[in-house]
Every structure is written in C-alpha cells, then in structure tokens.
Amino acid sequence: MTPELGLLLAFGLFLGLIVLGLPVPFSILLPGVAYLYFLGGWAGFKALGFVSWANLNSFTLTAIPLFIFMAEILERSGLIQRSYNALARLLSPIPGGLLQTNIFGCAVFAAVSGSSVTTAAAIGTSALPQLLTRGYGKQLTAGSLAAGGTLGILIPPSLAMIIYSTFTETSVSQLFLAGVVPGLILTAMFMAYIAVKALVQPGLAPREAGPQSVGEGLRFVVDLLPIGVLILVTLGSIYSGWATPTEAAAVGCATAIILSVAFGSFSPRDFLIALRRTTLLAGNIMFLVFAAYVFSHAISFGGVGEKFTAYVVGLDLSRFEFFLVLAILYSVLGALVESIGIIVITVPLLFPVLAHYGIDPIWFGIVLVVFIEMGQITPPIGINLFVIQSLWKGKLKDVVIGTVPFHLLMFLLLLMLVVWPQLALWLPGK
C-alpha cells in the first residue's frame, strides 16, 4: 500500500469517526496515530514527543486561554447583559429593532471574545427571552443570533486566526488587521438585510421606542463604556504596536477584572467559575491542536504534502477553478467539522499550494475564516445552529431556515474578497 492510499484511508477513518459521533480531537488523533504506525511501525512514534513540545510550547497559543478567560469574566460579571440592554435601547429605533442589537451586539462582543460559540451563546442568552416575549419572528430571530455569532471568528481577536497563524507562521497582528474591514462589511450587510426585511414585513419586528431624552441616551452610552474601554485597551495595544496579541490578551484580562469589579457584580466565586470554564474550553482547544500536529507530522513523515502540492499544481487549474474547489471542499467540511478542526486538517496540505497561485497567506486566512463562518451555520452539524436551538428550545428547522439569507450574504462577501482583495489587505499594508 502506498503512502498516498494510506492517507486516503486515514481521511476515510476520520470522516467515519466524525459520523459516528466521536469528538473531533479523537477523530483527528486516532487516524494520525494509525497513519504513523502504517508508515514506520513503532519507530514512527519516536519524534512525537519533540513534535508536541516544539509546536505547543508557543507564545502565540498562550493568547487562546487568555482571550477565553476575558470573555468569561465579562459574562460572569453581567457586563455583557448590561451592554446588550444599552445597545437595545440605542439601536431600537432602527427598522428591525432588537434584531439589529443581535448583530451589532455580536460584533461588539466578538471584539473581546474571539469565539463564535461564546459570542452566540452570550448574546443569545441575553436576547432570546426579550425577543420571544415581544413577538419577533422566530426564524429571523434565530437566524440573526446564529449568523451574528459567526462574527466572533472574523472580527478580531479571533481564536481561529491564532490557530491559523501557528500553522502558517503568519503574523497574528496582520491577520487581526485584515479581518477588521471584512468583519465590519459583513456586520453592515447583516443589519441592512434585517432592516429591509422588517420594512417589507413589519410583523416580523415590532417598532421599538428609543431613548426618551438626551439624558437617558447618555446613560445608555455610559453603560457601554466598560466594553469600549476593554476593546480600546486590547485591540488598540495590538494595532499600535505596543503589545503582541498575547501580551494584549493578558492586559485585557487584568482590565476586564478591574472593570467587572468596578461596574459589574464580580465576586471571588465568579472568578473561580470563570477560571474553571476557561480551563475546560482551552483544554479542549489545545488537545485539538495537539491532535492536529500529530496528524500534520504523519503527513510530513510520509512526504505526502510535497506530493499533494505537485499533484494539485500538475492539474493546471486556473485560479478561479482552484477557488471553486476550495469552496466545495470547505462547504462539505463546514457541515461536518467545527472551525478549528477545519483549519488544522486542511491548512498543512493546502498552504504550500498557495505560492503557486500567488495567493497572499494573510488574504487566504480571511477567506478561510469566512468559509468557516459559513460552516458554523451549515446543517447538519453547524454548531451555532444547535447553540441557539438549545437556548430557545424551538425547532431546529426554524433556525436553519432563518440562517439561509445570512449564508447568501457570506457568499457575497467571499465574492467581494475575490474581486477586491484589498478589502482584507489594505489595513495590514500588504
């Protein structure tokens, strides 16, 4: 059996384990270990200790638990609920009312959480009781929350971008900068769609009253200040060059604790709960990264990466055809594997091919993240669909139908990035 056929069987095993319901880290790790054994027997495992330590002993990866911890602090302190309520009153006069708050609130929380699931869960927990009580359309409500949550991996900081940078040795700061404009464009597109939908079908979104006086409006603005300060401290220190993303995340955690104690209700017990939740979530992500490095090492050990690159180049695909293949690949994987799993499986194989097509790795990172966003709301296992469905106990069908228009808007953003790459590359100065 050739190494290429062995790799194909390993991918088949991976997909089979996913379908059987095995957690993604184990579904990646077991085929990787099996492929290593196929290639070199027990001797194939000799380098695993060095590979694991060399790749996981990373200053960049340290940012992941720190950003998760920052988001947990904000959620436990009640600052997310307070900020959502303030945004709801300030944005309520816009057609779509509280649905606009879902999208804008997700965009704001994405700027401190870095996680799609965390963003969807945090905003969904705050929003759903109010939306359902006030009679908003169920499908549009669920779709706005599920799709809005995906902004957590496009608007920096982004855990997916951090993982991508470790596999491609690209700058995390440049990736964060590259995600700003596409993230804002997608947010504006989501909000514009909701406004048009609410104007065409007024019954889907009742008109809401905004602040009744200047003083009331100022009070709501003050309620947003803690989140605004935190975004300014974390992202501002990165973009100004004063701090690396990891250093900025550490400063952000300290700032979040101070703001939570000063403006929220943050007790020592809340601190311990946030720490515990962070440990569990970060441990899961890091185990997934470890499994991915084992699989990547197996591919490298068999020399398949070079052969795969040569095979793709030999197909003589045009740049458009190559993008079309990527679209099909990521659409399928997005329906089966969660975001970080997609990155760690595909990037080691695809990244060497990018140079042949003259594709900028920073630009490709943003395109990849948009594909992953689409996967987060793609049935049958788009994770944001289940997060929202579990929060409101409604039908999954309504959540899926509600996300279809947002799916199409993401396709539109992808086309815009292909036609105008500078949408992503302008801020990084590429």
Render pLDDT for 280-290 as a digit per residue (tens, 0 to 9).
888 887 887 78
Please give the pLDDT value at position 402.
Answer: 85
Q: How far is CA 360 from CA 180, 353, 364, in A?
A: 17, 11, 6
Per-residue DSSP letters for 316-353?
Answer: T--HHHHHHHHHHHHHHHHTTS-HHHHHHHHHHHHHHH
Whole-structure pTM over 0.75, yes or no?
yes
Say how far residue 312 (Cα) sits from the centre of its chain. 28
Give the residue-averaged pLDDT of 219-236. 85
At 360, is the secondary structure helix, strand, or coil? coil
8 Å CB contact between 80 and 118: no
Cβ contacts of 221 within 8 Å, gap of 6 or more: 86, 90
* Dihedral pair phi/psi, residue 378, rounded to 5°: -100, 125
Ramachandran bin of 114, using left for φ above 0, alpha for ψ from -120 to 50, beta for the remaining angles: left
Please give the pLDDT value at position 212.
Answer: 67
Say how far residue 345 (Cα) sits from the centre of its chain. 16
Please give the pLDDT value at position 244.
Answer: 85
% of the chain surpassing 90 pLDDT: 12
Q: Is the per-residue pLDDT at 3 higher than 60?
A: no
Ramachandran bin of 318, using left for φ above 0, alpha for ψ from -120 to 50, beta for the remaining angles: beta
Please give the pLDDT value at position 272.
Answer: 93
pLDDT-derived band at 188 (thresholds 50, 70, 90) equals very high
pLDDT-derived band at 196 (thresholds 50, 70, 90) equals very high
Q: Is the per-residue pLDDT at 334 higher than 70?
A: no
Residue 212, CB-side half-sphere exposure with 13 Å CA sphere? 0
Q: Is the per-residue pLDDT at 397 higher than 70?
A: yes
Q: Is the per-residue pLDDT at 209 higher than 70?
A: no
Question: What amino acid is encoded at 112 in this protein?
Answer: V
CA 157, CA 312: separation in Å to the nearest integer?
33
Please give the pLDDT value at position 409.
Answer: 93
Q: Is the per-residue pLDDT at 1 higher than 60?
A: no
CA 406, CA 248: separation in Å to the nearest integer?
32
Measured N-to-C along each axis, helices 245-263 and 63-77 cross at an angle, to the nearest 10 degrees, of 10
CA 118, CA 387: separation in Å to the nearest integer?
9
Other beta carbons within 10 angstroms of residue 364's beta carbon come to: 22
Please give the pLDDT value at position 117.
Answer: 67
More confident: 7 or 422: 422
Render pLDDT for 236-280 as a digit per residue (tens, 0 to 9).
888 888 888 888 889 989 999 999 988 888 888 999 999 998 888
% of the chain surpassing 70 pLDDT: 86
Question: What amino acid is encoded at 317 in this protein?
Answer: L
Please give the pLDDT value at position 66.
Answer: 87
pLDDT-derived band at 167 (thresholds 50, 70, 90) equals confident
Six-digit token string for 79: 């600052």
If 0-12 CB within 10 Å is exposed, 13-18 middle and 19+ buried, where does residue 272 land? exposed
8 Å CB contact between 119 and 149: yes
CA 7, CA 13: separation in Å to the nearest integer?
10
CA 95, CA 191: separation in Å to the nearest integer?
9
Q: Is the per-residue pLDDT at 362 higher than 80?
A: yes
8 Å CB contact between 14 and 24: no
pLDDT-derived band at 429 (thresholds 50, 70, 90) equals confident
Residue spans of the domains in the chain: they are 58-283+383-425
